[in-house]
Amino acid sequence: MSEDFTSIDKLGEFGLIQALTEKIPLQKASTVLGIGDDAAAFEHLLELSLCSSDLLVEGVHFDLTYVPPQHLGYKAAVVNFSDIAAMNGRPSQLLINLGISNRFGLEYLQELYRGIKLACEVYEVDLVGGDTTSSFSGLLISGTAIGSVPSERLVKRSGAKPNDLVVVSGDLGGAYLGLQILQREKSVFEADPDMQPQLAGNEYVLQRQLRPEARTDVVELLESLDVIPTSMIDLSDGLSSDLLHLCEASKTGVHLYEEKLPIDDQVFELAETFSLNASTVALNGGEDYELLFTIDLKDHDKIKGHPHLSVIGHMTDLEEGRHLITPDGNRLALQAQGWNSLLKQQK
Ligand code: ADP
Ligand code: MG
């Protein structure tokens, strides 16, 4: 964090908003009016509009001792873009609401906005507004993303049918292990402030936790492959819980194959360091922001062997139940354990 501290009390709400949002170029044709009026205006000709919010609360969703403000801003934007991608859409506008205490100076908030602006650049989204207020309970950041999708390409959670293939993008479990490393280094530091954090070598999982990406590229890829998923969700809670959401909404069962789970080598190694089973981490670790979707069997050839996509199972009749099939053929009931299971498993 910068050494400079400009009190936000001195700037006032108007001065602060101006300092944070000046020089933001608008680049989307769909943005008619950006920051500066009572509401932003946009139009999505011929497409459905999509809208999604996420609220991040200090102490609940992030810990300021190890999350740099620029990364926090980036993540606050990207988690919203991910929800738009999960509807098979593209994000185009973003609003950011802030609750801040005078503990934060202008310099800190400018860093936060550097991250938000970077995410907007990378994903070609316009920052078009928000609200700013004081908070007595730490930092609150809420993002609202607006996007669009041609109506025939909209994908809901509820469209999967028995025999559809279950597909996931990227790899799983990294963000959870990144968090484990940050928490471990925080407790080492609290015990002895002279200790330097040992983060080297763990860059991949740290990036997965601190600076996640939304898989809007997968939305583009599916369009170029001429595939419309039958159902889709983004992975925020963990594969087990989110897959169960698809099954619930679609009224199906599922067979998920443990040996097919995409897991990075670094995740395997680190799981061992933390005495965790890598598959359990992949199943229950949250915040990977990959896309989980189902496709009709007839589309299998179109995605087969694609390096960013793994077929990890198939939907079944509801009566079959929802199971993880282990490499030795055992069937375990899939459970939405989220992070609890990981805590229990840790020695
Ligand atoms: P109002 O009082 O009508 O809600 P504000 O004075 O709060 O308007 O906001 C003025 C303009 O600045 C609006 O366009 C609003 O969307 C924008 N704005 C306010 N806070 C933020 C923020 N944290 N990030 C981005 N834009 C913001
Ligand atoms: Mg206001």
DSSP for 294-326, please give it.
Answer: EE-GGGHHHHTT-TTEEEEEEEE-GGG-EEEEP
Assess whether the C-beta atom of 120 lies below 6 angstroms from ligand 1: no
Q: In the beta sheet, which residues pair with residue 127? A: 94
Ligand closest to 13 (CA) is 1
CA distance 144 to 133: 16
Strand order of the sheet with strand 231-234? 231-234, 291-295, 165-169, 309-316, 253-257, 322-325, 331-333
DSSP string covering 157-208, please?
TT---TTPEEEEES-SSHHHHHHHHHHHHHHHHHH-TTSPP--TT-HHHHHH
For the CA of 35, the closest atom of ligand 1 is 14
Assess whether the C-beta atom of 17 lies below 6 angstroms from ligand 1: yes
Q: What is the pLDDT of residue 339?
A: 54
Phi, psi dihedral angles at 288 (to 5 degrees):
-80, -20
Closest CA to 104 of 8, 10, 24, 191: 8
Closest CA to 57 of 113, 139, 132: 139
pTM, to two decimals? 0.94
User: From the CA of 17, how far away is ligand 1's center (Å)?
Assistant: 7
pLDDT averaged over consecutive 10-residue blocks of the chain (347 residues)? 78 90 90 95 96 95 93 97 98 97 92 97 97 92 98 98 98 97 90 84 95 98 98 97 98 98 97 96 96 98 96 98 97 81 51
Q: What is the pLDDT of residues 179-189, one digit of tens each?
A: 999 999 999 88
Q: What is the pLDDT of residue 340?
A: 52
Q: What is the pLDDT of residue 344?
A: 53
Output the CA torsion 316→319→324→328 (10° steps). Answer: -90
Q: What is the pLDDT of residues 278-315, one digit of tens each?
A: 999 999 999 999 999 999 999 999 999 999 999 999 99
Closest C-alpha residue for ligand 1 atom 3: 38
Q: What is the pLDDT of residue 347?
A: 39
CA distance 185 to 189: 6
Pocket test for ligand 1, best of 31, 35, 72 (most atoms within 8 A of CB): 35
Average pLDDT, the chain: 94
Q: Token pair of 259, please?
A: 């040996």
Closest CA to 299 of 229, 346, 244: 229
Phi, psi dihedral angles at 102 (to 5 degrees):
-75, 0
CA distance 286 to 83: 15
Q: What is the pLDDT of residue 102?
A: 86
Q: What is the pLDDT of residue 157?
A: 98
Assess whether the C-beta atom of 38 lies below 6 angstroms from ligand 1: yes
Ligand closest to 34 (CA) is 1
| Entry field: residues in the chain | 347
Beta carbons of 294 and 242 less than 8 angstroms apart: no
